[in-house]
Amino acid sequence: MCALSFIPHAAAQNTPLISGGVGFFTSTNGGNTTYTPVLSPVLVAPLGQHLLVESRANIIESFFPKGSGQTGYTSSPFIALSYLQLDYLATPHITAVTGLFLTPFGTYNERLSPIWISNFQDAPLITSLGTMTGAGVGEMLRGSAVSTPKFSIDYAAYFSAKSTNMQFNAERSTGGRVSIYLPEKRLEIGTSYGRLLEGEQTNYFGAHVWWLPANSSFKLRSEYAHGTHSQGYWIETDYRLSRFGGAETLIGRLEPVFRWQQTFRNSPDPSDGLPSANTQRTDFGLDYHLPHEVRINTSYARQFSSTGNRNVWETGIVYRFLFPTWKGKE
C-alpha cells in the first residue's frame, strides 16, 4: 500500500480509499481444470485522528468439472469477508483492533494472502495450522514495541470468541506473534503461538524467517508450524531479474519463484486442514510484471504423497487497483 514516487507536493489527505485486486486463475490439478475469476476489494476509511475502518472481501466464482462420469462444468459462488475491523491508534506503540481480523499467526495469512501479493495461487500447505479459521472475532492489540535503526520489535496478541455466522466464522482461541527485524541484515525472525480454547484445547507453535538482502532483488521467506496432529514448513524464494537492464525491460519484468514445502502427519485429524499423509511439494513459478499494475503468474508443482503423486499446473492474471472513494479536498 505504499508508493515511493510521483506524489505531488501536497498535504496528505485522509480520503477513504478502495484498493484490491481482480484476477482470473486456472488450475489443473491431477488432470482436472478449474477456472476461477476473483474480485478482492479492500476498503480503508479513517475516522478522525485515531480511528480506522478496514475491510477486505473475496468474491469468487469457481468453474469445475461435474465429475462422476458427467461431462461439462458446473460452478460455485463464494462471497466472504476476510476482515472487517475497527482500529484505534491508542498510543504511539499500541493499536487496539476490534471486529473480524486476520489471525496473527505466522506471516502468510496477514501479509501474503492477497491475490495481488502472493507469488503462487495456492497457499502453503501449513497455512491452516495456528490460524484457526483464518480470522478471529474479538480483540487484538498490536504495534511496534521498539523501532531503532539497529533493530525493531513488533507484536500482536489477540483473543477471539467463537462465531458460527457465515461471514464472521471464528473459533474461540487466543495467541499472538512477536518478530524482531534487523535492518542492516534485512533479516526478520519471529515466533507465533496459538491456542484453541475449545475441543481438544490444541496448542500451535510457529516460527518464521524472512531475509531480503539489501541491494538485491532476492527474497527468502520461510515458515514452520507445529500442531498436535501435524507439522510442516515452507521455504519460498523469488528473484526479480531487474539487474538485466532495469525492472521495466522485457527481461527485468520476469520474476522466477520457487517454493519447497513438507508436511508431516503425526495422527489423524481431518479438521486441521493438512494432508492426511506426509507430503512433499515443489513449486516452480514464473511471474511477469506488466505495466499498469498487471501481473501474470504461472507455476508448475509436483506433489509427492503416499496417497498419490500429482502435478499441479496454474496460471493467472491479476490487476491491482488503488484509488480514492471520492474527490476529496482540493
Partner 1 sequence: MNHWKRLAPGLLWMAGLPLLSQTHSVPSTAAASSTGQQSRSATAHAAHPTDGERVFEQNCSRCHNAPQGFSPRISGTVVRHMRVRASLSKEDEQALLRFLNP
Which residues 165-184 are close enough to bind partner 1 by CB under 8 A?
A: 181, 183
User: Which residue among 103, 109, 154, 204 contacts partner 1 (CB under 8 A)?
Assistant: 154
Closer of 3 and 166 to partner 1 (Cβ):
3
CB-wise, 10 or 166, nearer to partner 1? 10
Among 38, 40, 84, 97, binds partner 1 (CB under 8 A): 97
Which residue stretch of 59-67, 157-165, 212-220, 302-310 sits at the interface with partner 1 (rule: CB under 8 A)? 212-220
Instruction: Determine which residue in the list 132, 134, 142, 223 makes contact with partner 1, applying CB under 8 A.
Output: 142
| Cβ atoms < 10 Å from Cβ of 31 | 8
Q: Is 291 exposed, middle or buried (0-12, 13-18, 19+ CB in 10 A)?
A: exposed
Count how many residues are written for the chain. Answer: 330
Q: Is 275 in the site for partner 1 (CB under 8 A)?
A: no
* Side chain identity, residue 253: R
Q: Say if residues 106 and 134 touch (Cβ distance below 8 Å).
A: no
Does 48 interact with partner 1 (rule: CB under 8 A)?
no
Least distance CB 147 / partner 1 (angstroms): 5
Contact 211, 184 (CB under 8 A): no
| Min separation Cβ 189 and partner 1, Å | 12
Q: Is residue 111 near partner 1 by the rule CB under 8 A? A: yes
Find the shortest distance in angstroms from Cβ 73 to partner 1: 33
Question: What residues from 223 to 252 belong to the interface with partner 1 (CB under 8 A)?
Answer: 231, 233, 235, 237, 239-240, 242-243, 246-248
**Of 59 and 89, which CB lies nearer to partner 1 in the complex structure?**
89
Contacts with 272 (C-beta within 8 Å, 6 or more apart), sequence order:
128, 129, 227, 229, 230
Question: Is there a contact between 140 and 157 (Cβ–Cβ < 8 Å)?
Answer: yes
Does the protein bind partner 1 through residue 213 (CB under 8 A)? yes
N- to C-terminal Cα distance for the chain?
A: 22
**Contact region with partner 1 (CB under 8 A), list: 39-47, 63-71, 195-203, 301-309:** 39-47
Binding residue count for partner 1, defined by CB under 8 A: 86
| Options 65-73, 112-120, 168-176, 307-315: segment touching partner 1 (CB under 8 A) | 112-120
Q: How far is the CB of 111 from partner 1 (least distance, A)?
A: 5
Comparison of 54 and 269: residue with beta carbon closer to partner 1: 54
CB 130 within 8 A of CB 231: no
Minimum separation from the CB atom of position 133 to partner 1 (A) = 20
Q: Does 204 bind partner 1 (CB under 8 A)?
A: no
Residue 159 CB, shortest distance to partner 1, in Å, is 18
Q: Which listed residue (217, 228, 298, 305) binds partner 1 by CB under 8 A?
A: 217
The 284-323 site mask, x for binding partner 1 (CB under 8 A), equals -----x-xxx--------------------------x-xx
Q: Shortest gap between Cβ of 197 and partner 1 (angstroms)?
A: 24
